[in-house]
Structure 1
Amino acid sequence: MSTPRTRLTPEVAIVGGGPAGLRAASELAPSVTGDVLVLEREHEAGGIPRHCDHTGFGIRDLHRVLNGPNYARRLVRSAEAAGAVIRTDAMVTGWTGDGGLEVTTPEGLAEVHAKAIVLATGARERPRTARMIPGDRPDGVYTTGMLQNLVHLHHREVGKRAVIVGSELVSWSAVLTLRHGGCRTVLMTSEHRRPEAYAAFTVPGRLGLRVPVRTRTRVARIIGRGRVEAVEIEDLDSGSRDVVECDTVVFTGDWIPDNELVRAAGLPLDGGTCGPVVDSELRTARPGLFAAGNVVHPVDTADVAALDGVQVATSVLEHLAGRAGESGGLRIVADEPLRWVSPMVHTPSGRGPTRGRLLAWTDTYRPFPRVTVRQAGEVIARRRVPWPAAPGRVFRIPGELLDAARPDGGELRISLG
């Protein structure tokens, strides 16, 4: 005997109550005749910014500087004021046979059937197990998200001496969280030749927060029985190893999209991002199903994810009005040293990407790279940009470099020179 399910029929369903989902809801709610329903699995909406208790949020989308919790609250209030319905503690577990969403809530099971669905599920850091770090299995090993959840939302203590794995922007966010919790960062380790974060963060962090950063190193082993006692650090150039005493290890960066619903829907996955393949209007291969935010480009800042929400809202409204443009388009392929490019499909007659820029990820540092676009083996655009391409942070490519693409010319390949 099957369990009865509540049936919900909003105009638009948005899976994920982070910056992308909430901003999309704010844009859509005043413009559709039915409900805009946001499904958020956590007890509160707002996404990762809820537990990032430092400044730097809202610059690109709200044109002001806020800390994470205030930014999250502002997004929630804006969505609710616009008329969106936000249901928290609502876990989307899969798909119904006719394309609806299966949802588990404290009140029971539900099915959500909407004319348009937006996946804004975000991304997460790979934990220690996914990185296959050998050694003991003690307590005291976290990702940044776990750490910030414990410290800022649950007000828990985490330790006194920490080693941070990674030197991205989020790694310095972890340093600030540890400092707030009374824990000193004794080492930040990175496999790259230079820290991944911008110098504007790395230099003050090294000097002001007194955090030593060792590049071209990795954690070779975690040591400890009940609790972390130390880590073994390997120099990747010499092969030498030394032991650093600590009681806390934080794995930062190395992002992967929350793509379970994408895979369950049978949508094409991009080999680089491991997220859904989308075009510049954030449409997936299934009509009426869209994706936005860091599930598409793991990972950019919260304000860029929010601006994705604006972009996808326009696409949803066009779909609901029956004005959606042509589907398909030209596949965009990232050549080494680029790992991925987002969006992955260029529609010559469609709107350009969010903020007019393609987002990319590189595995090597290039100070002022020359971006080259090829189609059918011919160079159709080439430009040197005045900003670096660096591991650990998004590299932005001017979208107009694709303007010369021929609709019948086949895939586009983007490389750095």
Structure 2
Amino acid sequence: MTHQLPLIEPDVLIIGGGPAGLTAAAEIADRGAGRVLVVDREKQAGGIPRHSDHTGYGLRDLRRVMTGPAYARHLADRAARSGAEIRTSTMVTDWSDQHTVDVTSPEGRYQIRARAIVLATGARERPRTARRIPGDRPHGVYTTGQLQNLVHLHHQPVGKRAVIVGGELVSWSAAMTLREAGCTPALMISKYPKAESYGAFNAAGRTILRVPVATRSRVTQVMGKGRCEAVEIENLDTGKRRTVECDTVVFSGDWIPDHELVRSAGITLDERTLGPLTDTALRTSRPGVFAAGNMLHPVDTADVAALDGKHVAQQVINHLDGRHEPAEGVRLIADAPFRWIAPQILRPGDPAPARDRLLLWTDEFVRFPKVTVRQDGRIVARRTLAWPAAPGRVFRIPSSVLDGISYTGGPVHITTYNSRE
């Protein structure tokens, strides 16, 4: 005899209680679109900002600047005040059918069936093992998220001298966390000609945090038995290697979406982002299942993820009301030096993407980017932008560059080159 699991049936299920999921929940509940349920596997909702205890959050979505924990509390409180239900320590383990998921929580196992589902599970940094860096396996090796969780949530000590692998914005966040924990960030390592973060952050980091940056370099080995003792780094141009003593190593950046539920559902993945393939309405390939936030574009700032949540809310409401059946669309493809683009499908009648921006990731520095859009061998648009394309951070272009495309044509290719070459 098969045991039937208890079933609850909200109108909207949001999986993931970070900035994207909480903002979507608040917006949908505010508009009276039915019962909204948010589930999150952590003990508290709020996502990464919960343990990112520094300022800089909320600028784009809230028009104010807050610390990460304050920002997380604000979003969770707003969702709850709007009428959304938030269940924490609750993990979605599998799909029972196209709109029903299996859940494990402190209350036991049950199922949730919803008319619309929003996947907002975010992204994570690749740990050392995923980066295939050889050597010993000592204590003292973290990702930024692990470090911040240890320091800000559990108030545990780390080491005394650290090496940070990566030069992204989150790398400077790791440096601040290390300082707060009494650990000196002795060196930051980037494979690029300069650290990937914005120039202002790089300058401030070197001046205020006093962290030197080894560019065009990589870690080739981690040394130490019980505790980390050193790393070996290699200059990518000369091949010269040297050993840097440290008792702590932080692997920062190099993000990958938390896409396990996407894969287990058989929802189409974009081979570039490794997140679900979506259109500008943030629909996935499964009807009634949407996606938002950093699982789509790993990784952007928390406030941009929140604005994705605001954008997807209206699309979910449209779906619940049966207002719009998606038409056939055209694929958007990022060509080198771009690695990926989000969203990846443009359909007639759909809204512009969130903030009227296409998001791309570049593998090369392009100081004066001229963006070129091509379809079926013809140039649809050329646009010179005033901001550089740089590795390690999202490059945004106005979605109006797509105004001249044909919805009955072939794939649309987007690339860039330096306009002053």
State the TM bucket, normalised to the shorter chain: over 0.9
Per the TM alignment, residue 99 of structure 1 is displaced from its structure 2 partner at its CA by 3.0
Mind listing any 5+ residue stretches in structure 1 that lack a counterpart?
none
Partners of 1:309 and 1:79 lie apart in 2 by 12
Partners of 1:293 and 1:195 lie apart in 2 by 25
Instruction: Give the secondary structure class of the aligned counterpart of 1:359.
Output: strand
Per the TM alignment, residue 328 of structure 1 is displaced from its structure 2 partner at its CA by 3.6
Per the TM alignment, residue 3 of structure 1 is displaced from its structure 2 partner at its CA by 5.1
Per the TM alignment, residue 281 of structure 1 is displaced from its structure 2 partner at its CA by 0.7
Q: Is the 8 A contact 1:258 1:295 kept in 2?
A: yes
Partner of 1:48: 48
Partner of 1:390: 390
Q: Matches of residues 62-77 of structure 1 in structure 2 within 5 Å?
A: 62-77=62-77
Instruction: Give the secondary structure class of the aligned counterpart of 2:60.
Output: coil
Partners of 2:324 and 2:40 lie apart in 1 by 27
Partner of 2:311: 311
Q: Is the 8 A contact 2:99 2:116 kept in 1?
A: no
Q: Is the 8 A contact 2:5 2:110 kept in 1?
A: yes
Partner of 2:236: 236
Does 103-112 or 2-11 show the bigger shift?
2-11
Instruction: Give the secondary structure class of the aligned counterpart of 1:72.
Output: helix
Partner of 1:351: 351
Partner of 2:93: 93
Partners of 1:45 and 1:122 lie apart in 2 by 13
Q: Is the 8 A contact 2:99 2:115 kept in 1?
A: no
Instruction: Give the secondary structure class of the aligned counterpart of 1:61.
Output: helix
Alpha-carbon displacement from aligned partner over 1:95-132 (angstroms, at most 9, x marks no partner): 00353111110111110000000000000000000000
Partners of 1:290 and 1:98 lie apart in 2 by 12
Q: Is the 8 A contact 1:5 1:108 kept in 2?
A: no
Q: Matches of residues 251-400 of structure 1 in structure 2 within 5 Å?
A: 251-400=251-400
Partner of 1:103: 103
Partners of 1:92 and 1:111 lie apart in 2 by 9
Per the TM alignment, residue 347 of structure 1 is displaced from its structure 2 partner at its CA by 1.5
Change over 3 Å in CA distance of 1:328–1:180 after alignment to 2: farther
RMSD: 1.0
Partner of 1:170: 170
Q: Is the 8 A contact 1:368 1:385 kept in 2?
A: yes
Matching residue's letter, 1:191: K
Matching residue's letter, 1:188: M
Matching residue's letter, 1:227: R
Partner of 1:84: 84
Matching residue's letter, 1:210: R
Q: Matches of residues 177-216 of structure 1 in structure 2 within 5 Å?
A: 177-216=177-216
Matching residue's letter, 1:286: R
1:15 lines up with 2:15 in the alignment: yes
Instruction: Give the secondary structure class of the aligned counterpart of 2:250.
Output: strand
Per the TM alignment, residue 33 of structure 1 is displaced from its structure 2 partner at its CA by 4.9
Partners of 2:217 and 2:135 lie apart in 1 by 17
Partners of 1:47 and 1:290 lie apart in 2 by 19
Q: Is the 8 A contact 1:170 1:253 kept in 2?
A: yes
Per the TM alignment, residue 7 of structure 1 is displaced from its structure 2 partner at its CA by 0.6
Partners of 1:209 and 1:380 lie apart in 2 by 46
Per the TM alignment, residue 272 of structure 1 is displaced from its structure 2 partner at its CA by 1.0
Partner of 1:138: 138
Mind listing any 5+ residue stretches in structure 2 that lack a counterpart?
none
Instruction: Give the secondary structure class of the aligned counterpart of 1:96.
Output: strand
Partners of 1:386 and 1:3 lie apart in 2 by 61
Matching residue's letter, 1:39: V
Q: Is the 8 A contact 2:359 2:397 kept in 1?
A: yes
Matching residue's letter, 2:286: R
Alpha-carbon displacement from aligned partner over 1:42-95 (angstroms, at most 9, x marks no partner): 000000000010000000000000000000000001000000000000001110
Partners of 2:181 and 2:328 lie apart in 1 by 49
User: Among the aligned pairs, what percent are the same residue?
Assistant: 60
Per the TM alignment, residue 411 of structure 1 is displaced from its structure 2 partner at its CA by 1.0
- Equivalent residues, number: 417
Q: Is the 8 A contact 2:117 2:290 kept in 1?
A: yes
Per the TM alignment, residue 325 of structure 1 is displaced from its structure 2 partner at its CA by 4.1
Change over 3 Å in CA distance of 1:328–1:94 after alignment to 2: farther
1:148 lines up with 2:171 in the alignment: no
Per the TM alignment, residue 30 of structure 1 is displaced from its structure 2 partner at its CA by 2.6
Instruction: Give the secondary structure class of the aligned counterpart of 1:304.
Output: helix
Per the TM alignment, residue 192 of structure 1 is displaced from its structure 2 partner at its CA by 0.6
Runs of 4+ in structure 1 off by over 4 angstroms are: 1-4
TM-score, normalised to structure 2, is 0.98
Alpha-carbon displacement from aligned partner over 1:350-374 (angstroms, at most 9, x marks no partner): 1100000000000000001000010
Per the TM alignment, residue 2 of structure 1 is displaced from its structure 2 partner at its CA by 4.9
Per the TM alignment, residue 196 of structure 1 is displaced from its structure 2 partner at its CA by 0.1
